[in-house]
Amino acid sequence: MRARWGGNYDEEALRYLDQLFNGILTTQNVNGDLQLDQARKICKLSYEIDCRIRGGDDFDKILTAYDRLVKTAEFTPKNVRNLNDFDSVGELVKWLEKRGWKN
């Protein structure tokens, strides 16, 4: 986890970042290195917002940056991946074969 997030996070922070990142990958259509980078930055911003809330510090600017990045990455509820959708022809064929279809 330290390789992904850097050495300046404690164990609790690393778990938070990893859990949020994996949640994004599971629920959103993340394609390519750019969106992976955006997902990582969203996780870091989210953690920073939580830290500032706990500390009673101002978080308006970072929240604005977070909102902009979420919109830029198109990680919105309308883009949530439907787990019933097929991502490839191979997945469709596998699903059909499980139901008795023969080519």
Could you read off the pLDDT of 28-56 as tens digits, one per residue?
A: 878 889 999 999 999 999 999 999 999 99
Could you read off the pLDDT of 56-74 as tens digits, one per residue?
A: 999 999 999 999 999 998 8
- Which pTM was predicted? 0.73
Written as six digits, the tokens of 60 are 């308006």
Query: What is the pLDDT averaged over residues 97-101?
Result: 80
Nearest CA to 28 out of 91, 77, 92 is that of 77
In a domain, 25, yes or no: yes
- Provide the residue range defining the domain that includes 19: 2-98
- Count of domains observed in the chain: 1
In a domain, 53, yes or no: yes
Which of the four pLDDT bands, split at 50, 70 and 90, describes residue 100?
A: confident
